[in-house]
Amino acid sequence: MSELRYDGRVAIVTGAGHGLGRQHALELAARGAKVVVNDLGGDRSGVGASAGPAQEVVDEIRKNGGEAVANPDNVATPEGAAAIVQAAVDNFGKVDIVVNNAGILRDKSFKNMSVEEWDGVIAVHLRGSFLVTKAAWPHLRENGYGRIVNTSSPAGLFGNFGQANYSTAKMGLVGFTKTLAHEGAKYDIKANAIAPVAWTRMTEDLLPADFKDQLGVDKVTPLVAYLVHESNPDSGEVYTVGGGRIAKILVAEGPGWGTKDELSVEAVRDNWAAINATEPHIVPRNVGEQMGPLIQQLTS
Ligand code: NAI
């Protein structure tokens, strides 16, 4: 079995001072990538800042013989995002790989969620991924090569009590990923998203303690590493990953029900079962494919 390597590749991993990002950075560096280890160094809710966590990961990479540089900037500001990308260009000459991983939690039931708790979470996850990718995009286009992984969450895909801010940001990243995949295709830029489950400081009081040993961050990183490898053929996809299991998440559409007669409220009621049917379903790869059944009805 040939080993997957990243020699000559330059990777940015945001939020790589702890948890999943740290593991992604260590793995990519161990396999030959030059890595910008970004981390703002705050607490789980995003309060505070310290250059320490990013530097510690860089020290570990260097001790193991790898190449890396630390960056303490904030992904959620245009200046911070630009500085992260500039660190890659200044130190290693280019950018090939962007792993948008930085994240915080400010959980509250929707009733009690403040505007600040909403904005803060959207800023780091959604705006941060946008800003870092936006700063890297011209470099990727110019190189005619890029691999992007955005970090979504099962909470975003399926909803989770107390996480209206977080799930909005995480589902937003799915749409972001799918559009980047379309716009990047011409330049061999591939964008995918993961919805991980792992035992980190973010989840240690949320996941069942019994699973701690089985939900290591090392059970997530191999998927990220594969998705950012040049041999990965897929783009615009979302995968759930954790505990050694990986599965594709589908955005699917049921067979639906339609009428050429006037559409009334009663017709909606009377056809509710057909409207809610999920089999057979389609998995459109773009808006054109999604429009297919409607066009068929309009032209039949
Ligand atoms: P973590 O708290 O260990 O790591 C997140 C890192 O992001 C921290 O080191 C933090 O300092 C950094 N960070 C936060 N705000 C930042 C900012 N503005 N700029 C730069 N760095 C910043 O948490 P974990 O679990 O490793 O999370 C990584 C990603 O995975 C997050 O996006 C999280 O939402 C996502 N995720 C994690 C899951 C899990 O089960 N651990 C589940 C679903 C998603």
Residues 239 and 275 in one domain: no
105 pLDDT above the threshold of 90: yes
Residues 136 and 233 in one domain: yes
pLDDT, mean of residues 225-232? 98
- Predicted confidence band of residue 225 (pLDDT cuts 50, 70, 90): very high
Q: How far is the CA of 5 from the centre of ligand 1 (A)?
A: 25
Q: Which atom of ligand 1 is nearest to the CA of 155?
A: 43
Query: Mind listing the pLDDT tens digit for each residue in 201-218?
Result: 999 999 999 999 999 999
Residues 235 and 207 in one domain: yes
**pLDDT (0 to 100) of residue 66:** 98
Residues 172 and 275 in one domain: no
pLDDT, mean of residues 96-109? 98
Spell out where 155-218 has E strands: 189-196
Residues 104 and 143 in one domain: yes
Last residue within a domain, chosen from 208, 224, 249: 249
- Does a structural domain hold residue 174? yes
Ligand 1 site-directed mutation target among 37, 39, 50, most atoms within 8 Å of CB: 39
Q: How far is the CA of 70 from the centre of ligand 1 (A)?
A: 17
Residues 167 and 270 in one domain: no
Query: Mind listing the pLDDT tens digit for each residue in 114-139?
Result: 999 999 999 999 999 999 999 999 99
**pLDDT (0 to 100) of residue 62:** 98
Ligand 1 pocket (Cβ < 6 Å) reads 14-15, 17-21, 38-42, 44, 46, 53, 74-76, 101-104, 124-125, 128, 151, 153, 196-198, 200-203
Spell out where the chain has E strands: 10-13, 34-38, 67-71, 97-100, 146-151, 189-196, 238-242, 245-249
Residues 225 and 270 in one domain: no
- Does a structural domain hold residue 258? no
Give the side-chain half-sphere CA count within 13 A for 144.
0
Catalytic residue numbers, as ranges: 166
Q: How far is the CA of 202 from the centre of ligand 1 (A)?
A: 7
- 132 C-beta neighbours (distance < 10 Å), count: 29
8 A C-beta contact, residue 281 and residue 291: no
In DSSP terms, 67 is beta-bridged to 34
Sign, CA dihedral 133-136-139-145, equals negative
**pLDDT (0 to 100) of residue 153:** 98
**pLDDT (0 to 100) of residue 228:** 98
- Predicted confidence band of residue 1 (pLDDT cuts 50, 70, 90): confident
Tell me what the pLDDT averaged over the chain comes to.
98
Residues 16 and 143 in one domain: yes
Q: How far is the CA of 15 from the centre of ligand 1 (A)?
A: 6
Number of independent structural domains in the chain:
2
Dist CA 147 CA 64 (whole Å): 25
Protein residue closest via CA to atom 19 of ligand 1: 74
Query: Mind listing the pLDDT tens digit for each residue in 26-45?
Result: 999 999 999 999 999 999 99
**pLDDT (0 to 100) of residue 52:** 97
Residues 186 and 271 in one domain: no
Ligand 1 site-directed mutation target among 18, 127, 204, 245, most atoms within 8 Å of CB: 18
90 pLDDT above the threshold of 90: yes
Residues 126 and 226 in one domain: yes
Protein residue closest via CA to atom 10 of ligand 1: 15
Query: Mind listing the pLDDT tens digit for each residue in 272-293?
Result: 999 999 999 999 999 999 999 9
Residues 166 and 50 in one domain: yes
- 219 C-beta neighbours (distance < 10 Å), count: 20
The single residue listed with the structure tokens 């699973």 is 211
Per the structure, the complete domain to which residue 161 belongs is given by: 10-249
Q: Which atom of ligand 1 is nearest to the CA of 74?
A: 19
- Kindly report the CATH number assigned to the domain that includes residue 33: 3.40.50.720
195 pLDDT above the threshold of 80: yes
Residues 275 and 148 in one domain: no
Burial classification of residue 192, based on how many CB atoms lie within 10 Å of its CB (0-12 exposed, 13-18 middle, 19 or more buried) = buried
- Does a structural domain hold residue 256? no
- Does a structural domain hold residue 107? yes
